[in-house]
Amino acid sequence: MLRKVGPLHARLIQGCKEYSNMAQAAPSVLLVDDDHTFLSSARDYARLKGCEVHTASTVRDAMLTVEQCAPPDLMLLDLSLPDGSGLDLLDHLDARDCGEIVVLTGEPGVDTAVRAMRLRVDDYVVKPMRGGYFDTLLQRATRRAQSRLLSSPLASSQCGDLLGNSLIMRRMFKLIERVAPTDNTVLVHGESGAGKELVARAIHQYSDRRGRFVAINCGAVPPDLIGSQLFGHERGSFTGAIRDHAGYFEQAQGGTLLLDEFTEMPMSMQTYLLRVLETRDITRIGARTKHHVDVRVIAACNRDPAAAVRDGVLREDLYYRLADFPIEVPPLRSRGDDAHLLAGRFLRALNDEHGTNHGFSAASEEFISQYAWPGNVRELLHAVRRAYLMAEDGKIELAAYPDPAVLGARASRGDLRWSGQTLEELEREAIEAALARCGNDKTHAARLLGVSVKTVYNKLVRYKKQGPDA
Ligand SMILES: Nc1ncnc2c1ncn2[C@@H]1O[C@H](COP(=O)(O)OP(=O)(O)OP(=O)(O)O)[C@@H](O)[C@H]1O
């Protein structure tokens, strides 16, 4: 199956105007090649076709990538890499999990062709690769991603009302899919505005629970009222209790109760809550009898719950009881292109609502990618709404209307807060932050950091040896 193919580049440029709307099931592509020109053109082209692309230029880099990412729908693998043969990667990977694996080589040989076929390689192509062939591969990857989507509805870019196409979000959707049908208590943790409540709603939506979804913000209820709000009270049980009142647990009977900001609950209430979680029996304030409740509890918080335990504001036993199944909602800045996807959806909803056809200016598109969105999706939503109202000639100028929070965040973005770290620790933080921002794309992160990909990669290998806490 040796094949001679023509140049890819003309095709890449020609195809750059097309933008596939495959957001519903972005195919994932892993490109492994030490030819950086090929790598960046192929990456840009595949991205324009709606793919989520990871790149690597050595076996070691590719191994790190496959360890951290889901198996790709398409893998293009160069045979001769600086630190070994691309086929070495296949020895370390369960090729059955991958979609199509295509080996590229500049120097075809019978030995490598035979080894490639033994290792479940789907095609063996002599460089340079023809653009039309690359298109065919991307189309097949797209079909594969779509069938994945059909076989697992939550593997898509939407889960309940949550949108997200990045790998990190689709992994989170998978967690929601797994836990939803069970009765497990779930601990949802993440920055403000990242979507914790939507996660809780999605878990309820994908469960079989027919009761209501009820949410309480424990931080917003005065400490002396939280007991009666959660568990209810009988008439006359305290001044002002003029009638019987069913608390949130009873209101959520057969459904789901979200305890938002649960770390803000007074300690005495945490003790009672722990008991309720064990027995599912509640007693209204002033009542003599217990009620058994069938309620799935989801706890959410902005602060790190383990730190809340260390700070003495959260009971350790309650933490362990709630942390049955933790879900971390990633900040928007670590979701790759999701900010664009979300901004586009928010704008489309406004256009549909008002019968307009406004679009983002090029500067707004740039702003969406560059800005760190410290207020996460909520901040993005508000920024789009505000800029929509201010639009002139149908152009949304997102950068032109920063609010004070945006300005504050912009000012602080360049400042690394120094709290006694060594230079090496600061460097590690910067590299990790850049990787998080680019959805773990090392080439992109290296560009942002102004260093070579090799430097990023060597550092990562060192950090891996040092361990997570070094
Ligand atoms: N992935 C997402 N897709 C679409 N909308 C989202 C997404 N994440 C959040 N939102 C929207 O952003 C806003 C904030 O989300 P949500 O209230 O769930 O955040 P939160 O993490 O619970 O915030 P807080 O901690 O401040 O309560 C809501 O309007 C929500 O609809």
- Measured in whole angstroms, the distance separating CA 307 from the mean position of its chain's CA atoms is 23
Q: Any idea which fold 158-330 has?
A: Rossmann fold (3.40.50)
Q: What is the pLDDT of residues 215-238, one digit of tens each?
A: 999 988 888 888 889 998 888 777
| Strands of 152-309, DSSP E | 158-159, 162-163, 186-190, 213-217, 256-260, 281-282, 291-292, 296-301
Q: Give the predicted TM-score (pTM) of the model.
A: 0.59
**Ligand 1 atom closest to residue 163's alpha carbon, by position in its atom list:** 3
Q: Which phi and psi angles does 23 have, rounded to 5°?
A: -55, -25
Q: Is the minimum distance from the CB of 377 to ligand 1 under 6 angstroms?
A: yes
The confidence score (pLDDT) of residue 221 equals 85
Q: Is the minimum distance from the CB of 345 to ligand 1 under 6 angstroms?
A: no
CA atoms within 13 A on the CB side of 189: 16
What's the CATH superfamily of 9-151?
Answer: Response regulator (3.40.50.2300)
Q: What is the CATH number of domain 423-466?
A: 1.10.10
Are the CB atoms for 322 and 155 separated by under 8 Å? no
Residue written as token pair 């972005």: 26
Domain ranges, ordered by start, for the chain? 9-151, 158-330, 333-413, 423-466
Q: Determine the average pLDDT of the residues in 118-131.
A: 80
From 188, 378, 380, mutation site for ligand 1 pocket: most ligand atoms within 8 A of C-beta: 378
The confidence score (pLDDT) of residue 10 equals 34
Identical fold at 9-151 and 158-330? yes
Question: Residue 143 C-alpha to ligand 1 middle, in angstroms?
Answer: 31
Q: What is the pLDDT of residues 426-443, one digit of tens each?
A: 788 888 877 877 667 787
If you take atom 25 of ligand 1, which residue's CA is the nearest one? 192
The confidence score (pLDDT) of residue 149 equals 59
**Ligand 1 atom closest to residue 201's alpha carbon, by position in its atom list:** 18
Q: Is the minimum distance from the CB of 344 to ligand 1 under 6 angstroms?
A: no
Q: What is the pLDDT of residues 361-396, one digit of tens each?
A: 988 888 888 888 888 999 999 999 989 998 888 899
Question: Residue 227 C-alpha to ligand 1 middle, in angstroms?
Answer: 27
Q: What is the CATH number of domain 333-413?
A: 1.10.8.60
If you take atom 24 of ligand 1, which residue's CA is the nearest one? 192
